[in-house]
Amino acid sequence: MAETVSGVIHGEGEEVPSPWKFFRVARIVPPDQEILSVSPSTKVREALDLMDQRGFSQLPVVAGGTVIGVFTYRSLARSLHSIRRQDNPLDMSVDDLVEDLAFVRPEAEVGEIWKSVDRDGAILVGDDYNLLAIATASDMAQFLWDATRPFILVRDIELAVRDLIRYACPSPIELQSRITMALPAPQSKESGTSLEDLTLGELIGVLLQGENFAQCFRLTFGHNRDLVRGQLESARIIRNKVFHFIEDVSIEEMKSLLVTWRWLERKVIMARAQQ
């Protein structure tokens, strides 16, 4: 018999104390996760069918509200050598074919579970008597990718802008002159005058300055100055939100970053081809 339970982990989907906003195990678990468990008497055949239908790689085995183990593809494979040849493993009960997965607290730091997830592919959140969730290697990878992707996109956008500026103006002396022309003296002195020292906002200011764009940077960014401004200003605003940790990047903002990144990628490819 299978039973579906929706675990509730404090700190998800609501305004919570600051410790819960760090990389805790609770944040790895998908917010809509349902836990499907089976009784010890469940046949292997039925358990495998459930796992196939739901796309699960493991099923907690629960007796009287207590987790006695987890049935997994690996636990089945490891037990096959001890099953008599005349017995059909599909007709056996899962209670003798389980393995133990580590239990962790939902507020545990993500760093504490690396070894367990790497070894077993998943960990159980809660305890033997109160299973709250299952966190898999896939859940961890998805969470970390979602958390780091905005930083990666913003980095690639800024690096692409620098490359396109250099392609358009390969002379260090001329480039220095155009930076000085675009930035007010106090700002230029404080921030430095190499491209690496400039913020994204300052880079945009340098390339969109009237003479700079008309005489130089339109060669790599294209002739539509307003289009360039729109693409890069949007990325700059999102960049400030990301690096100042103001709030999470929305789906629409992620789409906007992707559009800008792909647009710049095409520009870089074309600029390189002309070198």
Would residue 137 count as lying in a domain?
no
120, 151: one domain: no
55/151 Cα distance (integer angstroms): 31
**pLDDT(19) > 50:** no
The reported pLDDT for the residue numbered 3 is: 62
pLDDT score recorded for residue 154:
95
35: phi > 0 → left, psi -120 to 50 → alpha, else beta; which? beta
pLDDT digits (tens, 9 = 90+) for 95-112: 989 999 999 999 898 888
Is it the case that residue 251 has pLDDT exceeding 70? yes
- Angstrom distance (rounded) from CA 119 to CA 113: 10
Task: Confirm whether 179 is domain-assigned.
Answer: yes
What is the pLDDT at residue 114?
A: 87
| Other residues' Cβ atoms within 10 Å of the Cβ of residue 146 | 12
pLDDT at 263 over 80: yes
Query: By percentage, how much of the chain surpasses pLDDT 70?
Result: 89
Tell me what the mean pLDDT of segment 145-160 comes to: 94
7 assigned to some structural domain? yes
- The verdict on 107 and 209 lying in the same domain is no
Please determine, for residue 160, whether its predicted confidence score (pLDDT) is greater than 80: yes
pLDDT band for position 4 (50/70/90)?
low
Q: Give 258 or 13, the one with higher predicted confidence.
A: 258
Q: What pairing do the DSSP bridges indicate for beta strands 103-104 and 122-127? A: parallel
Same domain, 69 and 148: no
Average pLDDT along the chain: 88
- Residue 136: inside a domain, yes or no? no
Residues 192 and 249 grouped into a single domain? yes
Task: Report the percent of the chain where pLDDT is more than 90.
Answer: 65
- Domain co-membership, 50 together with 150: no
Q: Can you tell me the distance from the alpha carbon of 17 to that of 11, in angstroms, rounded to the nearest whole number?
A: 8
In this structure, is residue 56 part of a structural domain?
yes
The residue type at 240: N
Residue 202 lies in a domain: yes
Segment 117-129 shows an average pLDDT of: 92
Tell whether 123 and 146 lie within a shared domain: no
The pLDDT-based confidence of 52 (bands split at 50, 70, 90) is: very high
Judged by DSSP in three states, 56 sits in: coil
- Do 162 and 121 lie in a common domain? no
| Residue 139, φ and ψ in degrees, nearest 5 | -60, -45
Domain that holds residue 267: 142-273
Residue 186 clears pLDDT 70, i.e. is over it? no
